Amino acid sequence: MKNYRFKINGKAYEVDVPDIEGNLASLVVNGISYNVEVDNEVLKPKTAPVAIKERSVSADKPAVERVAGKTSVVKAPLPGVIIQVLVKLGDEVNAGQTLCTLETMKMENAIKSETGGKITAVMVTPGQTVNQDEVMVEIN
């Protein structure tokens, strides 16, 4: 059972969710039981991160791979949602500079460049879902 506390227009509500089966849920709001039908969850993209926790990418699964000479591609190390993009086409970046923030499993990860150079492509936008190994940024 999950328990929530809501404050709506200054009034406090305690909501218990003892059971959810399919699209039917049992709720207890301030001691009163309700059976409700649940529609699909509405997902809204986050607009601003509260705190950024940095995560290093393991050596056996690098976030950046070199291809065709000096061009590097920055790939998503895990599936997740892009929270913010800090670079744009044409920007000059240094090695170690944060390019974007990726939320994976409720953790925010700073995705950093492993090389310096000029941004030649930005393939992600805030709120976008990315898969593991999906190219997010190209650097030349």
**Residue 43 domain-assigned (yes or no):** no
Asked if residue 123 is part of any domain, the answer here is: yes
Given this model, what pLDDT does residue 44 score?
57
Residues 32 and 74 in one domain: no
Residue linked to tokens 């039981």: 33
Would the pTM of this model clear 0.85, i.e. be above it?
no
Residues 32, 86 share a domain: no
Strand order across the 107-112 sheet:
107-112, 98-104, 80-85, 129-130
pLDDT at 42: 55
Q: Are residues 73 and 130 in the same domain?
A: yes
Whether residue 50 lies inside any domain: the answer is no
Mean pLDDT to the nearest integer, 113-121: 90
Residue 113 in any domain: the answer is yes
Instruction: Answer whether residue 77 is part of any domain.
Output: yes
* Residue labelled with tokens 């898969």: 131
Nearest to 111 by CA among 128, 127, 99, 123: 99
Residue 53 counted as domain residue: no
37-77 pLDDT per residue, tens: 877 655 555 555 444 444 444 444 445 444 445 778 899 99
pLDDT single digits (tens) 66-112: 444 577 889 999 899 999 999 998 899 999 999 999 998 888 999 99
Q: Are residues 72 and 110 in the same domain?
A: yes
Written as one letter, the residue type at 90 is: G
Domain assignment of residue 86, yes or no: yes
pLDDT in tens, 2-43: 888 887 788 888 888 888 787 788 888 888 888 888 776 555
Q: Which residues lie below 8 Å from residue 53, measured CB to CB, with a gap of 6+? A: 107, 108, 109
Q: Are 101 and 121 in contact (CB under 8 A)?
A: no
Give yes or no: residues 70 and 114 share one domain. yes
CATH code, domain carrying 110: 2.40.50.100
Q: State the pLDDT at residue 52.
A: 43
Q: Total domain count for the chain?
A: 2
Residues written for the chain? 140
Look up the domain containing 82 and give its range: 64-139
Pairing state of beta strands 11-21 and 24-29? Answer: antiparallel
Query: What pLDDT was estimated at residue 45?
Result: 57
Laid out side by side, the sheet with 117-122 consists of 64-66, 72-75, 135-139, 117-122, 92-93
